[in-house]
Structure 1
Amino acid sequence: MSIISVQNITKSFKTYKSEWHRVLGWMGVHVAPLIEKTILEDISFEVEPRQAIGLIGQNGAGKSTLLKIISGTMQANAGSVSLNGRVSALLELGMGFNPDMTGRANVWNTAGLMGFDKDQIENVMADIEAFAEIGSYFDEPIRTYSSGMQVRLAFSVATAFRPDILIVDEALSVGDAYFQHKSFARIREFQEQGTTLLLVSHDRASVASLCDRALLIHEGRVAKDGDPEEVLDFYNALVAAREGSKLEQIKGEDGRVRTISGTGEATIENIQLVDENDDDAESLLVGDKAAIIIDVAVKQPIPELVVGYMIKDRLGRAVFGTNSFHTKQILTDLKAGESYRYKFEFDVEIGHGNYSIQVALHQSDSHITKNYEWRDLALTFTVANTKYALFEGTSWIPPKLSIEPLKVKETN
């Protein structure tokens, strides 16, 4: 049985000639609006218990509107939402807080609206105060808070009791890095205990690390639903799409979906990962020397060519990337028929595991300006560690450790 069922949700916003016309519309009197803009159109999907879903899409795609409808703070024009469990939502920054009330008073008010009684709130008040870490401001009016402090309090209240469904909309992008780490640790803890997560974020790493499924909302519809890396790659290509561009996804023999996009004025003819002897390499060791070779063919005259790559881990999170714009090796005024070989040499200073390589040909510093060709999962390779002491993580950053005794302070 699904814990969240969204069926045929449609939402539009209307602009009327006057507020009186709007009121008449509410009363059932037919008054034609000046403008009616559809934000969501026929959205349907199911979420199973314990799933973590990342909602992605460009600004204005309707992601936040959809979360508000699911959480019950906004009504759809058509369709239905069914929830099987207690929901906790962290949507707009400080939504529902009274700016003239203290943080403590707002906790009482917000938790009460969430359905908790006096004893339940009293039992977690100290935990909320401790988790928020805002000191004496806890008993000061909300209007004196910074945006980061509001996030701290809002998240602490929303997660004081583990919900069956946790909805988070970008709010955690505000505030300091320390609290972001602390918040994501709590989210992961809830996931391990069975909480279902709906997350809106523009941070690829957050979606890749927290979610086991992603939905791309584009022009008010579900444009893609599936594995986070596949959906994120498709979204990345969609953002850079221009008239005349191709955008396709091909399923490889390993079952992974590769995204290829671009206008085709320059194309990738060959990609190789080689070891220090220039032999093809599918596996490397930590500390090895390697190189990524990219052969490029110019099909039409182009003013500028930048070639780059990104190494990603098994979850699709960026490990390292660069391009010839950043290395200040930009080729200009290229003519049709020219071809070039790019060789990016590097030391394998990453941890053991499975990795993929993303390759791009474009203009300027990123593919957003002009994307000639972009390939996700162009190559895959593994890294093993047989040379060095055991370590964890995706980066090989060996420390130089020194240990010395400290003098014991004398006590009277």
Structure 2
Amino acid sequence: MNSRPLPPGALRIQGLGKAYKRYARKWDRAGEWLGLGVRHRLHWVLRDIDLQVDPGEAVGIIGVNGAGKSTLLKLIAGITQPTTGTIERGGRLSALLELGIGFHGELTGRENLWSAGALAGLDGATLSACLSEIAAFADIGDYLDQPVRTYSSGMQVRLAFALATAVRPDLLIVDEALAVGDLFFQQRCFERIRAFRAAGTTLLFVSHAMSTVYALCDRAILIEGGRIIQDGEPRRVIDVYNASIANRLGSGDLRIVTAGPGAGSYDRGDVRIEQVQVLHQGQPVQTLVSDSLLTVRIEVRFLRDLQDPHVGFQVRDRRGEAIYMTHTHGLGLRIGPVRAGERIEVCFSFIARLIPGDYSFTVGVADGGLPGGHLERSLTRFQEAAQFSLTRNLQAAHWDGICNLEPSCQIQRL
């Protein structure tokens, strides 16, 4: 291990693993206590985790339930101890993990602030100075002096987050707990997290809400089966994660691209997307003016007979977040049965009423239209299939946001 102390907010993990003992029979544990030999086997929930996080980074940790995300955060926070490996942290850490962790149900909210604050390393003087601000941020009114067992899950999250962020930490860990809060409070939490990040706080954030990972994080890691299988830019890691989910939901035979610009693309060998073009007035373009008519042309070759194929697209922003998506089935259209070797061209046209910036198309093919605009089986997806940029339309009214709603306005003196 490197003996030099880490700078505030830094994190270094080497060879980390966590295993729990599993016993086949309820008496085997007692047998071990009595010296009758090893009666358990180890169940590894994390294995061979190596992770370096620099001060000020915001890292989103994603993966399916049971992948090991929450266990990793508990190890980093020191709530549980590793079976193998080492964890080094720089500076003060604050963690918001499982709902209610660190709170005693019979104590009032105010009493819990003192006890949980002391466990978090806040001294009495600091807590006294922050108490009114914590109460104001939590905004639970008279419930602050009621037993925590009478709180709703949202009220517990309010109090826990207000305490965890009363003093800016060097390293902030946030698990899925914020998902139970109301929208208004979530927005206040994210504003505080962004302020902490601007001041240099390192963030480790677990969430199943990919939009939040896009918004808060500049790096993401994907954990699968207790191991880190992807580490990099959020859009690439999330694309691979989504492809993995599609594979789980399907027949499990998708071939997934895990690296490079097309990371997260996949196919099953049923169909091939041969060309994707962005067109304006029939000509390929890379840059055009907002509010212009844009066409995405998708050329598809079928490698097997299919009864009900459909083609779709996503428009994604610079971060990789989808801002619009549809497909032929969703539009009420049907391609009809196709034979192996057949080729088709599908063109989607729309007015690009979007804020100036850089965008990309993701395109895909599925088979089997279902009620409600759903599709039965995804066959292929091509990430980053084409890119385009929009410049401001100087002839249009000034607006800001994501898309131009073209509102009408009437003014009348009363």
Same fold flag (TM > 0.5):
yes
Moved more, 183-192 or 263-272: 263-272
**C-alpha spacing 1:70/1:25, structure 2 compared with 1 (3 Å):** farther
Q: In the alignment, what sits opposite 2:383? A: 376
Is the aligned partner of 1:82 residue 2:91? Answer: no
Q: Distance in 1 between matches of 2:92 and 2:33?
A: 31
Secondary structure, counterpart of 2:326 in structure 1? strand
Residue identity opposite 2:288 in structure 1: L
User: Deviations for 1:263-293, whole angstroms, at most 9, x for unmatched residues?
Assistant: 0202212211112x22212112221111212
120, 125, 128: which one pairs with 2:126?
120
Map residues 216-231 of structure 1 onto 2, 5 A cutoff.
216-231=222-237
Q: Distance in 1 between matches of 2:325 and 2:395?
A: 25
Q: TM-score, normalised by structure 1?
A: 0.90
Secondary structure, counterpart of 2:118 in structure 1? helix
Q: In the alignment, what sits opposite 2:136? A: 130
**C-alpha spacing 1:29/1:403, structure 2 compared with 1 (3 Å):** farther
358, 361, 365: which one pairs with 1:357?
361
Map residues 12-411 of structure 1 onto 2, 5 A cutoff.
12-17=19-24, 21-22=28-29, 30-33=37-40, 36-241=42-247, 242-249=251-258, 251=260, 256-275=261-280, 277-331=281-335, 333-363=337-367, 364=369, 370-385=377-392, 386-402=394-410
Residue identity opposite 2:389 in structure 1: T
Residue identity opposite 2:85 in structure 1: G
User: Deviations for 1:364-410, whole angstroms, at most 9, x for unmatched residues?
Assistant: 5799953311111111111111232333322212433455567xxxx
Q: Distance in 1 between matches of 2:172 and 2:27?
A: 38
Q: In the alignment, what sits opposite 2:13? A: 6
Residue identity opposite 1:339 in structure 2: R
Residue identity opposite 1:98 in structure 2: H
Residue identity opposite 1:196 in structure 2: T
Unaligned runs of 5+ in 1: 407-412
Residue identity opposite 1:8 in structure 2: G
Moved more, 17-26 or 197-206: 17-26
Mapped contact 2:312–2:365 kept (Cα < 8 A): yes
Mapped contact 1:258–1:375 kept (Cα < 8 A): no
Mapped contact 1:267–1:372 kept (Cα < 8 A): no
User: Deviations for 1:289-309, whole angstroms, at most 9, x for unmatched residues?
Assistant: 112121222111234322211
Secondary structure, counterpart of 1:100 in structure 2? coil
Q: Distance in 2 between matches of 1:50 and 1:29?
A: 51
Unaligned runs of 5+ in 2: 1-5
Q: How far is the alpha carbon of 1:55 from its aligned partner? A: 0.8
What percentage of aligned pairs have identical amino acids?
Answer: 38
**C-alpha spacing 1:23/1:121, structure 2 compared with 1 (3 Å):** farther
User: Deviations for 1:210-269, whole angstroms, at most 9, x for unmatched residues?
Assistant: 111111111111101111111111222222235443222564xxxx45442110202212
Q: Distance in 1 between matches of 2:396 and 2:379?
A: 41
Secondary structure, counterpart of 1:302 in structure 2? coil
Q: How far is the alpha carbon of 1:40 from its aligned partner? A: 0.8
Moved more, 84-93 or 298-307: 298-307
Mapped contact 2:302–2:341 kept (Cα < 8 A): yes
Secondary structure, counterpart of 2:240 in structure 1? helix
Residue identity opposite 1:51 in structure 2: E
**C-alpha spacing 1:294/1:14, structure 2 compared with 1 (3 Å):** same
**C-alpha spacing 1:223/1:367, structure 2 compared with 1 (3 Å):** farther
**C-alpha spacing 1:210/1:24, structure 2 compared with 1 (3 Å):** farther
Residue identity opposite 1:119 in structure 2: A
Q: Distance in 2 between matches of 1:15 and 1:62?
A: 17
Mapped contact 1:287–1:348 kept (Cα < 8 A): yes
